[in-house]
Amino acid sequence: MKSREELEAMARRIRLSIAQMTWQSGLKGAHLGGSMSVTDILAVLYGEILHYDVQNPLSPERDRLILSKAHAAVALYAALHEAGFLSKDDIDHALQGDSPYFEHPKMDPTHGIEFSGGSLGQGLSLGMGTALGLKMKGNTAAKVYVILGDGECDEGQIWEAAAAVPHFGLTNVTVIVDDNGLQFDGRKEDILKAGDPAARWASLGYDVCTVNGHDVEAVRAVLLRETEKPRVIIAKTVKGKGVSFAENDVTWHTGRLTDELYQEAIRDINHD
């Protein structure tokens, strides 16, 4: 098991890559806020939890990760680089020219990207289908992880899939909600109140727990818990975490980094 320091160092490296990719995208910018908020979760997943083999990327036993809040693509690319799926060169060219690694992930399972994404609300359905397929093939090894945004849970399709996963007995599914409290137009509570998210999921038959999404050891602990039901982990996070000028700031849903801001971001991240 990795130590807290190792996982936090990995998260730091992911954050640096996110900042780099955002800066090198130039005027286009990237979805910095929502990528930073999910970083520690991805660090734990790729550092500790997920079973994968870079040499055999399509191994049937691999765990499947679906980033339904796909605009956090740069976080995924950075994590995939840490895992060994993407090279430094891939990161250095991401979000530029005709790089295959642009603002939303494009399906490429040989590099760890299970599905294309970008249209919110669809990932849990994809996860469900995947889990159902695994179950039908008798594959009890592979697990399915779906990362949602809290704003994304406005989408009705999430609740279609949410009802279906426990109904089909898909206990190999773990849903992680990156609950950073902000969406494009502002605070979640101002746009569409989330009500009682834990109660919503629990009412459908999930095992629900809440965790500090930036405490790598706490995140690991909840991910290692064995349950008999499909799981939902509501991870309380901070949008833009790690970059002081972006933290909890709705304007950093998507943003550009000037040279100065990039340097400031690097200092903030390294200082953490």
Q: Does 117 bind other proteins (CB under 8 A)?
A: yes
17 vs 125 by CB, closer to other proteins: 125
Q: Does 199 bind other proteins (CB under 8 A)?
A: yes
Question: Total number of residues binding other proteins (CB under 8 A)?
Answer: 44
82 vs 150 by CB, closer to other proteins: 150
* Given 8, 155, 179, 207, the residue binding other proteins (CB under 8 A): 155
4 vs 187 by CB, closer to other proteins: 187
Q: Does 74 bind other proteins (CB under 8 A)?
A: no
* Given 154, 215, 268, 272, the residue binding other proteins (CB under 8 A): 154
Tell me whether strands 182-183 and 186-187 are parallel, antiparallel or unpaired: antiparallel
Local structure of 146: helix, strand or coil? strand
How far lies 175's CA from each of 36, 145, 186, 192, 220, in Å?
Answer: 19, 6, 24, 21, 14
CA 136 to chain centre: 26
DSSP type of residue 30: B
User: Maximum CA pair distance of the chain?
Assistant: 53
Residue 256: CB minimum distance to other proteins, A: 12
* Given 9, 116, 139, 217, the residue binding other proteins (CB under 8 A): 116
Q: Does 228 bind other proteins (CB under 8 A)?
A: no
Q: Does 156 bind other proteins (CB under 8 A)?
A: yes
Q: Which has the closest alpha carbon to 150: 50, 42, 222, 232?
A: 232
Tokens representing 141 are: 């090894």
Token pair 């979000």 in the structure block, residue: 95
Q: How far is Cα 124 from Cα 126, in angstroms, rounded to an integer?
A: 5
Tell me whether strands 144-149 and 173-179 are parallel, antiparallel or unpaired: parallel
Could you tell me how many residues make up the chain?
272
Q: How far is Cα 62 from Cα 143, in angstroms, rounded to an integer?
A: 8
Judged by CB under 8 A, the stretch of 4-12, 151-159, 219-227, 259-267 that binds other proteins is 151-159
Q: Does 266 bind other proteins (CB under 8 A)?
A: no
* Given 104, 229, 236, 256, the residue binding other proteins (CB under 8 A): 104
Q: Does 187 bind other proteins (CB under 8 A)?
A: no
Residue 2: CB minimum distance to other proteins, A: 33
Q: How far is Cα 98 from Cα 19, in angstroms, rounded to an integer?
A: 20
Amino acid at 269: I
84 vs 129 by CB, closer to other proteins: 129
Residues that bind other proteins (CB under 8 A): 28, 70-71, 97-98, 100, 102-104, 106, 116-121, 151-152, 154-160, 163-164, 166-167, 183-186, 191-193, 195-196, 199-200, 202-205
